[in-house]
A and B are shown apart, each in its own frame.
Chain A
Amino acid sequence: MTIPAGLRRTVLRARRDTGFLAAGVLPHLALVPVWAWAATTTTARTGNWLLTVSVSAVLVLLGTPVLTAVHRARYRVLIGVDVPRLTPTAPEQRTWASTARWLTATRPWRRIGYHLLLGPLLALLELLVLAEAAACLAGVIACTWSWALPTGIRQDWFGYPTQLPAYTAAGLLLLCTLPWTARAVAGAEARLALGLLGPSRAQRLQERVDQLAVSRTDLIEAVDAERRRIERDLHDGTQQRLVSLAVNLGLAMATRPDLPSDAREVIARAHLEAKEAIVELNDLVRGLHPAVLEDRGLDAALSGLAARTPLPVRLRVDLEDRVAPDVESVAYFVISEALTNATKHANAMRAEVTVRQVGEVLRVRVTDDGLGGADAAVGTGLTGLAKRVGSLDGAFHVSSPVGGPTTVTAELPCAR
């Protein structure tokens, strides 16, 4: 007989949750002796209550981090809930106020409250669930142990023949509810722990935002590095090989004027095609990552871009200094793509590129006098640009009424 998967899962989960609750009883009760001692001493007025209170306070303060660690381990190992550690960044300047802020950022009162006040209540709940588990098991298997009871008690409990089946049925019924009871209590505990032992929602979000910002920057850098690597590989490999091929074909034409005319014609065509391939590959590779951008900056890289664009481009660059490499590279690609669009799709006669640094914003604007009607929501090129600009928290805007003109603007934060 095979056990149905659903039942198997429920049983396993019930076992896991009950085990988790059982493991919580002792740590949740850990501070109860402190309570009891402090309470009896102060009410009985026998000992030095001031000493008692201070000793209990010290015990609570020392116990809190240990118990927190125990509970974090219990949540993580037994039910797979990760209660994040509290790691507020230490203040740069140590003043009383900043130290106090740092201390309160870890929210110690919530954790003390959890262990001191909530702990015993949770232990009670856990014990109730464990009692339920014990009771239902006892009920289900009542027939196996009822005979061992002393006669008087057996008469009392199982006097009527219907009583034993009733215990078994009640035990079974209770057993069916156990997984959900245990689940509910464990879930409630996890929620409380996340709220009281872990960082607040705002802190968690802040941490997440910081992580995401770092990973996004890393990702962009990795992509740029990859583009640079491909550019280098193509430059050192295929491009040199193609040039060499074209040179050799050129040499063949120059050194062998005596070849038959059809052979010369074939060589001439190959020569031409090799040169065209060089130009095409150059344009492609240049689009990956122009070396001069890294070396001499945006202004210098734009000369080559504008000069290779087949329409007259008016270029105005007003930069005080180099901006960050990722900003330079996004600005370059915005201009490159906008000029490509102006040439290929808009049938423009001329274009104007302005790059200005205004305070901590790099403002890039490309205008052409073409047909217009470009839509950032449709064109993949423009969508890609919007994403790249967005990756630097920049603003991207396309204005392109049908009939033109088209203006592409990007504003990139460039504080260094």
Chain B
Amino acid sequence: MRAVIAEDSVLLRVGLIKVLEMGGFQVAAEAGDAEGLLAAVAEHRPELALIDVRMPPGFTDEGVRAAMEIRRRWPGTPVVLLSQYVEERYAADLLSANTSGVGYLLKQRVADVADFVAAVRRVADGGTALDPQVVAQLLLRRDSDPLARLTPREREVLGLMAEGRSNAGIAQALVVSESAVAKHINNIFAKLDLPVVDADHRRVLAVLRFLGTSRA
């Protein structure tokens, strides 16, 4: 699978290329700023764009803007944003249009190579990968809504779902059985008044859409 990388730190770019190659990607192009990234995407039409949020010239949210531009101009291009800090507002921007094929992770997650590669592959396949810190921020913002009805355990499960994990992944993370997870999830859907759907990632999208649209 072809990938492009936008990261202004040359040092880190080298590491990212190695990690992506380990995950079975071919890095078709690398860029140091948003302009270069858009040109690279236009040229290579990659199956994944890995983008740093803070890039020249402003060093604020250039990556987020570039990602939204990519998704507007070439819909369906999976993007994964990396950042030293994650911000709920950037996540909300990213998820506002479409939640499939989107990832937003802390840079330090790249160090856990296997997990990172799995998350990136999930996004490339049309899934989502949100950093637990993003999820925590999104959950924090809705305290006066149905989420308040969830038990702490159910919130935990919802958080893991929002990160993009499967039932098996959640069960593994919480060290419980998969059937227990399924029960929690059914409770969550009931409490959030969401129809039960079976497809793995659609369930996540439903939750994310709920997170993304019910902002008070």
Residues of A near any B CB (own CB < 8 A): 232, 235-236, 239-241, 243-244, 246-251, 253-255, 271, 274-275, 278-279, 282, 285-286, 290-292, 294-296, 300-301, 303-304, 306-308, 313-315
**Interface pair B15/A244, CB less than 8 Å apart:** yes
Max chain B Cβ within 10 angstroms of own Cβ: one of A241, A244, A246: A244
Partner of B88, one of A236, A241, A243, A304: A304
**Interface pair A291/B88, CB less than 8 Å apart:** no
Partner of A236, one of B9, B16, B90: B9
Contacts of B15 in A (CB 8 A): 243-244, 247-248, 251
Q: Is the interface of A mostly helix, strand, loop or mixed?
A: helix
Contacts of A279 in B (CB 8 A): 108
Contacts of A271 in B (CB 8 A): 111
Max chain B Cβ within 10 angstroms of own Cβ: one of A236, A240, A249, A290: A240
Contact of A251 with B18 at beta-carbon distance under 8 Å, contacts A236-B9, A241-B11, A315-B141 already known: yes
- A314–B147 Cα distance when bound, in Å, is 14
Contacts of A253 in B (CB 8 A): 113
In the assembled complex, how far is the CB of residue B140 from the closest CB belonging to chain A, in whole angstroms? 5
Ranked 9 nearest A-B pairs via Cβ: A246-B111, A247-B15, A240-B9, A303-B88, A307-B137, A300-B89, A307-B136, A295-B60, A254-B113
Partner of B133, one of A247, A307, A315: A307
Query: How many residues of chain B have a CB within 8 Å of chain A?
Result: 34
Any A CB within 8 A of the CB of B84: yes
Residues of B near any A CB (own CB < 8 A): 8-9, 11-12, 14-16, 18-19, 22, 54, 59-61, 84-90, 107-108, 110-114, 133, 136-137, 140-141, 143
**Interface pair B137/A250, CB less than 8 Å apart:** no
- A254–B15 Cα distance when bound, in Å, is 13
In the assembled complex, how far is the CB of residue A306 from the closest CB belonging to chain B, in whole angstroms? 5
Partner of A251, one of B84, B107, B113: B113
**Interface pair A292/B85, CB less than 8 Å apart:** yes
Contacts of B9 in A (CB 8 A): 236, 240, 244
**Interface pair B140/A306, CB less than 8 Å apart:** yes
**Interface pair A314/B143, CB less than 8 Å apart:** yes
**Interface pair A232/B110, CB less than 8 Å apart:** no
